[in-house]
Chain A
Amino acid sequence: MQDTFAILIDGKEAAAHAGETILDALRRAQVDTPTLCTHEHLTPAKACRACVVELKGSRALVASCERKVEPGMELRTDSRRVLEARRGVFELLLSQNDVSAAPALVLQAERAGADRERYRGQRYDRGLHDDNELYVRDYDKCILCYRCVEACGPDVQNTFALTVAGRGFSAGIAAGYGESLPDSACVFCGNCVAVCPTGALMDKREHTLRAEGRWDESRYDVVQTTCSYCGVGCQLELHVDRRSNQIVKVTSPGDHSITQGFLCVKGRYGYSFVEA
């Protein structure tokens, strides 16, 4: 039996289940909460701080994606402190990052009332890492959400090709010890690409088509199929360009019981034989 108890959200009583996070409870109570780094299949990185809430008795705000509920917790999600902190997080990100491939981030920033002009200063200028045939890395777009590190590491892939290097404003994602991807431990499963929320990691084909102005989602059909390479039975979504009948991208549904959205290099990138 699930242990259920009451907590207070903005003065209203809500049900919470032992072991879940504050964010889980907020979502069930339909309290709109911005999030950037948290991901349903990954350990909360509590790094972006967009989901902070006020917890009675706590000096600083707490990250709702990580903090577990406790009986009697009194939370505020609508106080000035919370709203200003969230707005600040988005304003800081806008002052640093190239958000051109992160429409979800921009939308959340607008909803938080972020003013693009408030903070100005040095922006990321890290150049494009285009060192392999399968995906590119544009760290000017990276918000250091840690999703790729966790997906490549113990949460999914256990390959540990990615890590955070440097500190402060210079902190960023590195493959191995600053090597190119082919020289690192990377096995090109693309699971980091699948979880990246900003477009910093992007399949090479999508990146090329976008660069040529030929990426047009309205032309793509999603075809469901089962991967034919092995007996695991991963479900694939083939994004197929209706006009050219070309596969432009392969993904897997995040709620699929076998894959949870994660694939291996063959399922995700080994599709050119179809076109041969």
Chain B
Amino acid sequence: MHEPVLLRRQGHPDATLEAYVADGGLKGFARTREIGQAATVAVVTESGLVGRGGAGFPTGRKWESVRTAAESERYFVLNADESEPGTFKDRVMIETDPYMVLEGVLIACYAIAATRAYIYVRGEYRGAARLLAAAATQLAAAGHLDGIAPGGRPLAIEVRHGGGAYICGEETALFRSIEGYRGEPMSKPPFPTVAGLFRKPTVINNVETIANIPDILSRGAGWLQRYGTDRSPGVKLFSVSGHVGRPGVYELPFGAPLQELLDLAQAGRDLRALLLGGAAGTFVFPGDFDMPLSYEGAQSRAATLGSGALIAFDQGTDLWRVAERLGNFFAHESCGQCVPCRIGTRRQHEMLAALADGSGGDGERERIATLGQVMTDASICGLGQTASTAVRSLIDAESRGLLAV
């Protein structure tokens, strides 16, 4: 049995700053102040931590480019927008341990000499936003924010609320949203570390990524590697929903077999398929339930962990109907900026609706595949680029005979 690390304070009574400190909290931040900025970033780099928001980018590398940036105005942004269907681990992380998340924010801000921190919280997550704002107030009152910002000033932490658009979780759209514009993604390059929020060097990290930081600092660069695999060090939060006995958030070391996660969530033996990695993920069938839950393990089965969402479907589920709902999601959430995604997601949804209703045929399957390639190749951002991933994995599974009942 894996002893939870990130979620170790689950079930503790109300999170207070006193309780957090009594339980060993803020040690990582103390360590950061002791060793300084460059050494802090070096520890994060050495730890092997990569982003948990879906893209898997090495966290230390991001921090280092902003730490060494020429411009003195820099920002740190915590991405708590979490709007991927079936993903709710960041919410549980925040509600379980808001202080650990904020300690990670303090360490990041100190390490990159951020002039200001923004926390962008999904609009519906009122409770989580309240908890974070209250915890930030407590930390400020106790003087823990003093001297973090350049010039020895206290760090300003600003909590912003999303307005209900999935696309505003995409980092560049999120910046636009904070700036007061329409949430439309921008091209990369320039990357956020060069020109991010207000066109200044910016580190943006996912909640779960940041929750790893305090322990990495207090326990050392090698700590993360005590968990997981060589290529995927650490632990991962999985959001499990759908046809399982105990839906919820589960923490496992990377590399644990998928079946173990299913057992934890009390999935029955009659599962038809899983959607792994959220709306932009892939369908996984029982033959692959022995898959190791690591980045390389998923890749070897042409799957993706994404943000760690798993939706289970039993034998009674019509997977084409599921695909139709996914198609609807992307059509609804496209920002509308570029042609392949604005029109493509709508056409894809229409064709999926035809397939789900039984009125579509091979022509639809072929057109969906052709269109999927156009969206993947020519869309501006990750939404359009991955809007056909799950659907195409279903078509592929069908051609391999995996959908036969």
Task: Judge whether B338 and A167 touch: CB under 8 Å.
Answer: no
Residues of B within 8 A of A63 (CB): 187, 380
Q: How far is the CA of A96 from the CA of B337 in the complex (A)?
A: 15
Q: Tell me the interface secondary structure of chain A in the complex.
A: loop
Q: How far is the CA of A96 from the CA of B187 in the complex (A)?
A: 25
A119 in contact (CB, < 8 A): yes
Task: Judge whether B374 and A84 touch: CB under 8 Å.
Answer: yes
B27 in contact (CB, < 8 A): no
Residues of B within 8 A of A166 (CB): 336
A6 in contact (CB, < 8 A): no
Q: A85-B374, A119-B367 are in contact. Are A49 and B339 (CB under 8 A)?
A: yes
Task: Judge whether B380 and A46 touch: CB under 8 Å.
Answer: yes
Task: Judge whether B339 and A167 touch: CB under 8 Å.
Answer: no
- Chain B CB within 10 Å, residue with most, of A63, A168, A171: A168
Task: Judge whether A67 and B187 touch: CB under 8 Å.
Answer: yes
A47 in contact (CB, < 8 A): yes
Q: How far is the CA of A84 from the CA of B184 in the complex (A)?
A: 25
Q: Indicate which residue in B182, B187, B332, B339 contacts A48 across the interface (CB closer than 8 Å).
A: B339
Task: Judge whether A85 and B187 touch: CB under 8 Å.
Answer: no
Residues of B within 8 A of A267 (CB): none
Q: How far is the CA of A247 from the CA of B3 in the complex (A)?
A: 82
Residues of A within 8 A of B236 (CB): none
Task: Judge whether B338 and A48 touch: CB under 8 Å.
Answer: yes
Q: How far is the CA of A94 from the CA of B340 in the complex (A)?
A: 12
Q: How far is the CA of A13 from the CA of B332 in the complex (A)?
A: 44
Closest beta carbon of chain B to A146's beta carbon, Å = 8
Q: Indicate which residue in A50, A52, A118, A169 contacts B331 across the interface (CB closer than 8 Å).
A: A169
Task: Judge whether A168 and B339 touch: CB under 8 Å.
Answer: no
Residues of B within 8 A of A238 (CB): none
B104 in contact (CB, < 8 A): no
Given contacts A122-B350, A169-B343, 18 further A-B contacts (CB under 8 A): A47-B338, A52-B377, A60-B379, A61-B377, A85-B340, A89-B378, A95-B343, A119-B343, A119-B367, A121-B346, A143-B339, A144-B337, A164-B182, A167-B333, A168-B331, A168-B333, A168-B334, A169-B342
Closest beta carbon of chain A to B227's beta carbon, Å = 29
Q: Indicate which residue in B336, B339, B350, B370 contacts A164 across the interface (CB closer than 8 Å).
A: B336
